[in-house]
Chain A
């Protein structure tokens, strides 16, 4: 685990004036079960004001249940939900003053774009002239100024999502929930919208609780991420923290790709190193302070591994043979068979001077001492 000093959030560095100050969200022993089936085990979580916080995990991990409870659609079985210190569990959704963006937009089909954005403002009994001004302002913020009178059905998916965003933020909620808002968009649009939402977040300043199953999306956008699995939060941290110091094999392989090895034996090796023998019989090296011991797992990230035709002077050097190599957008992804029939994944950026090793060629894999990472063998 990296040092726990408070993260310097992107928000702190932003010079822009922000519309609202985000709410602090705290979950205390929040739990949900459906007739004996646990959807969310008792969970504690703190989301800081103004933070962009993502919940990620495979389907059925409890992330949508958690979001549903914060919104008020799912009654918790136990626990408390505190928004700026006030428990909202007993309040209906319409009295929680939360913004929410749904996966399928949930725009009202019988209302125009402007009417959709005006809806929450009318519910708050804002005077008509102020509603008009606010709708205009929101449409400009999401760059849909000319679309006020369109029907949602006349908009593209990305445009509909921006209307949903404008509608959810029009009344300056201090907490904004997003339930897989980009799930229905194609890849290019999704990436564009990620920046759109980030830009939006920096402008409005609300705390955002964001649910996705896309780890890249979460890593791109979030200040911090909670990874859920089997109805519980398994790790919380900054994206980089989670990637570089996963606390379990699940986290290691859920965020990016991971080459995981089970450790069979460890001994000290000078200078200040550990000599690690894996179950397959590979002999690897790690920092002495890496706290690796027999029975734990170690992880080597695919992009930390160098590939060459001869063993170098690196701390770790492993002989193997190329099983296959594929080209993906600027990267080469190798699968290399090493001792014990084990396949190791290696990613190298494709540059002109980098040689491509053909299938079947013998290669040496090497990586730094620091890239042999401990993964505690917790579930």
Chain B
């Protein structure tokens, strides 16, 4: 944004960054018109329609189905985040140590899934998890089960589908963080007498936490708002907030209630994020900044 100029005798001193603020204008305007204003309208609608008051929020917290969906949303996002971290950390560790062509190859493997839409990949998992699906065929053929399992709709399918989609968003910040760790620190630890395990636990792991923190925040926050995958794989008992909001808005046409649900999800997400930030700042006092 242009600042109010207060020209001194010779004008403001020149800096390299003068004028760059103008570049913020187009995205700033776009976000204000197409994001901030609609968001404000959602919040207002939840409070003012059909009658001014907190009636909509009363329903959100009063009806068991809504509360269950909300807690299910947080739980699912948490499970998906932990699974992503557990899978991504060793993977990122290996990739971060690669160089040149191998690094490029690994990065392509990580990024390729992003080229296929979440809808198509969720349909793919439906084929795997359905009663006559690939997974049941396999389990029967191997003799692990003796009758077909009902995995769809179910939380296992939702978790697997979501982890599949979210994994790159965990791997990428982890790799970025790990590649930022000075190799000389590991060498120093080595020559100072630290065997590989101690080197990892005392040097590499703590120094990789900023990357972990970024990945966890990204995956958890995105998972809270997931729609397609839980809608296709989750069914009524494993509904997540976004699915419920869509249903209230498009099927029940109860926009005020949908708005109240959306606002609640937004507040929960914001609060969780702030708590998380504070925790991270406390546990990473030296390298967090």
- A residues near B (Cβ < 8 Å) are 71-73, 92-94, 96-100, 102, 104, 106, 108-111, 119-120, 123-124, 151, 153, 167-168, 171, 177
Contacts and interface: CB of A to CB of B under 8 A. Distances in A.
B193 interface: yes
26 contacts: A72-B191, A94-B190, A94-B195, A97-B193, A99-B192, A100-B191, A102-B184, A102-B187, A102-B188, A104-B182, A106-B185, A106-B187, A108-B185, A108-B189, A108-B203, A109-B185, A109-B207, A109-B286, A110-B286, A110-B287, A119-B194, A120-B192, A123-B192, A151-B286, A167-B192, A171-B192
B286 A100 contact: no
A66 to B, nearest CB: 15
Nearest to B202: A119
Contacts of B188: 100, 102, 106, 108
Given A96-B191, A109-B207, A153 B286 contact: yes
B206 interface: yes
Nearest to B284: A110
Interface in B170-229: 182, 184-185, 187-195, 198-199, 202-203, 206-207
Nearest to A171: B193
A94 B193 contact: yes
Scoring B184, B189, B286, B287 by chain A CB atoms within 10 A of each residue's CB, the highest score goes to: B286
Contacts of B195: 92, 94, 123
A119 B185 CA distance: 12
Contacts of A153: 286
Nearest to A73: B187
B193 A120 contact: yes
Contacts of B193: 94, 97, 120, 123-124, 171
A102 B202 CA distance: 19
A168 B189 CA distance: 10
B185 to A, nearest CB: 5
Interface residues of B, number: 21
Given A106-B185, A110-B287, A123 B194 contact: yes
A167 B187 CA distance: 14
A146 to B, nearest CB: 19
A93 B195 CA distance: 9
Contacts of B182: 104, 106
CB-CB nearest 4 A-B residue pairs: A123-B193, A106-B188, A120-B192, A93-B190
A72 B188 CA distance: 11
Contacts of A124: 193
A261 B198 CA distance: 58
B96 to A, nearest CB: 18
A93 B287 contact: no
Contact of B191 (A98, A110, A151): A98
Interface of B: 182, 184-185, 187-195, 198-199, 202-203, 206-207, 284, 286-287
Scoring B185, B192, B195, B202 by chain A CB atoms within 10 A of each residue's CB, the highest score goes to: B192
A219 B101 CA distance: 44
A106 B194 CA distance: 14
Contacts of B198: 123
Nearest to A120: B192
A81 to B, nearest CB: 14
Given A109-B207, A110-B206, A151-B286, A93 B185 contact: no
B198 to A, nearest CB: 6
A278 B91 CA distance: 68
Contacts of A92: 190, 195
A106 B192 CA distance: 11
Contacts of B284: 110
Contacts of B207: 109-110
Given A106-B185, A119-B189, 17 more contacts: A72-B191, A73-B187, A73-B190, A94-B195, A94-B199, A99-B192, A102-B188, A104-B184, A106-B188, A108-B203, A110-B206, A111-B286, A119-B192, A119-B202, A120-B193, A123-B193, A171-B192
A102 B206 CA distance: 21
B208 to A, nearest CB: 11
Contacts of A96: 191
A91 to B, nearest CB: 11
B206 to A, nearest CB: 5
Nearest to B207: A110
B99 to A, nearest CB: 14
A119 B195 CA distance: 12
A96 B187 CA distance: 13
Contacts of B192: 94, 99-100, 119-120, 123, 167-168, 171
A128 to B, nearest CB: 16
Contact of B190 (A72, A111, A168): A72
A340 B97 CA distance: 59
Contact of A93 (B184, B187, B203, B286): B187
A120 B199 CA distance: 11
B97 to A, nearest CB: 15
A177 B192 CA distance: 12
Contacts of B189: 94, 108, 119
Contacts of B206: 110
A99 B190 CA distance: 10
Contacts of A167: 192
A164 to B, nearest CB: 8
A295 to B, nearest CB: 47
B199 to A, nearest CB: 8
Contacts of A168: 192
Nearest to B188: A106
Contacts of A106: 182, 184-185, 187-188
